[in-house]
Amino acid sequence: MITNANNTPAIILTNPQMGENIGASARAMLNFGLTDLRIVNPRDGWPNERADATSSGALEQMPPVQVYNTLNEAIADLQYCFATTSRQRDMVKPVYEPDGAMKETHQRVNNGQKIGFVFGAERTGLTNEGLSLCQAILTFPTSPEFFSINLAQSVLLIAYEWNKLIHNETAPALEIGDSFPADMGDVDGFLKRLMGDLDERRFFRDENLKPTTIRNIQNIFTRADITDQELRTLHGVLSALRGNKVQSK
C-alpha cells in the first residue's frame, strides 16, 4: 500500500459519470506520484467495478478514495483550489495552464498549504457553483478545433506536471507573511453565516437571482485568498455590522 505523501495535491472529481474514467484517473495519478483522490456524488455509486478494471491495480495500491456528497465537504481541509475548465467563464479569477498552475502549487505546498484540483462531470464540466468555490481556473491548452479532453487525460496532465516540477527544482515558498490561508471549510462557514444574516435581513428579494448573487459574493471571498487571521476579523466585522456584541479579539 502506498501512503499519502505529505502535501501532494488532491484530485477532486465532482459528479463523475463513468467508472472507467475514475479508474483511469487513479492510474494516471499513481503513475506520477499523486495519491489523494476524492469523488463527489459519483453517478454509479462507489465502489465501481469498471473503475477497478481501468485503474490497473492503482485503486488497490493507493489510500482509499474518499467519497463526499458535496464539493464543499470534499475541499473543506484544503487552502487553495484550481477549477479545471475548457470553456471561458464569465468569472474574474486568475487563469493558469498546467505548468503555471504547478509553479503556483509548488510554492504554496512549500508554504505548508494543501491544494486541490477540481474536475466536473464528463459531459457538462464543472458547474458555476463549483467554480465559484475555487480560487483559480486551470485550462488546458487544447486545440481550438478539438478542445474536449477526456477526464482521465486531463488528470494525467496535472499529475505529470506535478511530478516534473518536484523532480526539477525547488520552488521558493510563497511570501504571505506569518499568516496561513484559512481552510476552505472555514471560509465556507463564514459565507454561510453571512448568507444567513442576509437572508434574515431580506437581502435576497428576488428568489430567481439569489443563486447568482450568492455565487458573486462567494467569488469575492474565495478570490481574496483569505488568511486565518483575516477570517477572524471578518467574523468580527459581521458581528459589529449586525449590531451584535463584538467579541473580544
> Closest CB to its own copies among 58 and 121?
58
Task: State the amino acid at position 195 in one-letter form.
Answer: M
Q: Which of positions 109-168 make contact with its own copies (CB under 8 A)?
A: 136-137, 140-143, 145-150, 152-153, 156-157, 160, 163-164, 167
Shortest separation between residue 8's beta carbon and its own copies, angstroms: 11
Tell me if the bond preceding 98 is cis, omega within 30° of 0: no
Residue 63 found at the interface with its own copies (CB under 8 A): no
> Closest CB to its own copies among 64 and 146?
146
Q: Which of positions 2-41 make contact with its own copies (CB under 8 A)?
A: 2, 24, 27-28, 30-33
Q: Which of positions 169-228 make contact with its own copies (CB under 8 A)?
A: 170-179, 181, 194, 197-198, 201-203, 205, 209, 213, 216-217, 219-221, 223-227
User: Residue 79 and residue 187: Cα distance in Å, rounded?
Assistant: 9
Strands, E, within the chain: which ranges?
Answer: 10-14, 36-40, 66-68, 80-84, 95-96, 115-119, 136-138
How many chain residues touch its own copies (CB under 8 A)? 87
Closest CA to 115 of 140, 153, 83, 73: 83
Q: Are 46 and 15 in contact (CB under 8 A)?
A: no
Shortest separation between residue 203's beta carbon and its own copies, angstroms: 4
